[in-house]
Amino acid sequence: MMERALAGFLLAGAIAFVARTVRALSLGGAITALLVGTAAAIAGWTWATVLIVFFVTSSALSHFKRATREARIGGIVEKGNERDAVQVLANGGVFAAGALLAAATGASVWAAAALGALAAATADTWATEVGTVAGGSPRSIISFKPLPAGTSGGVTVSGTLASVAGAAFIAGLGYLIGVGSAAAAVFIGGVLGSLADSLMGGTVQERRWCDGCLEATERRTHYCGRATRVVGGVPGARNDFVNVVCTLVGAGVAGALTR
């Protein structure tokens, strides 16, 4: 295990270094990715493989038509393309914990929970990345009213299809490489986790307003440089919190269906 931990540390470090170089991760994000990747490697190389595939596919999507995405949602989304430490932990922390528990206990419920968490993170990430560049006007998952692109709680047909594809991708990958036999449970957990993310984004997540630009945003400081104010949701409940809930729901549903 010590040898695998060292090898995993070196591999995760190399991937984090490259990701930092291409500005896919901030410095804090790279350090956190190193720790999460090492934890996955300790659990087993198959777990590390699933995590690497998630990171590579998600990063590739985020770089695809980046200029188009920035033009559409740059004034709304809270963070840019460089994932920071909190984002990395919000998306991969539950997965890493579940993978370690699965390796330690051999229990299929923990394997399903780990994959369910990552399936939910993948579904949410793919939905966001595809939905914001595919065009079309998002609609609120709560009221079905049109929303500006990039607004949390907004859904599109293309984003929804990408979400389902992301959950199916992780469920199928886990099954094929032998870390999770409950593919259906993982898939359902991934889809419901992403759905929970949208519901939380449209209700609980704080919504802000820039009085200078007269625009809705998630940024505490708008791109114009003016501080924004909370106009809805729960103050302090930001996108990273919603992402944690997303992965917890994915893990919980997948684990419950595997019992």
More confident residue, 118 or 84: 118
Distance CA 255, CA 101 (A): 12
Give residue 54's pLDDT: 94
Which two tokens mark 35?
Answer: 């720790």
Helix residue ranges per DSSP H, the chain: 2-21, 27-43, 45-63, 66-73, 85-105, 108-133, 157-177, 183-203, 239-258
What is the average per-residue pLDDT within 135-164? Answer: 89
- Determine contact, residues 217/229, Cβ cutoff 8 Å: no
- Determine contact, residues 118/50, Cβ cutoff 8 Å: yes
Give residue 148's pLDDT: 83
Which two tokens mark 241?
Answer: 């919190």
Give residue 208's pLDDT: 93
Which residues, including other chains, have CB under 8 Å from residue 213's CB and lie 6 or more apart?
75, 222, 224, 226
Residue 105 burial (C-beta neighbours within 10 Å; 0-12, 13-18, 19+): exposed
Q: What is the mean pLDDT of the chain?
A: 90
Judge whether residue 254 has pLDDT over 90. yes
Distance CA 120, CA 245 (A): 10
Distance CA 39, CA 194 (A): 24
pTM here? 0.91
Give residue 80's pLDDT: 65
Give residue 1's pLDDT: 67
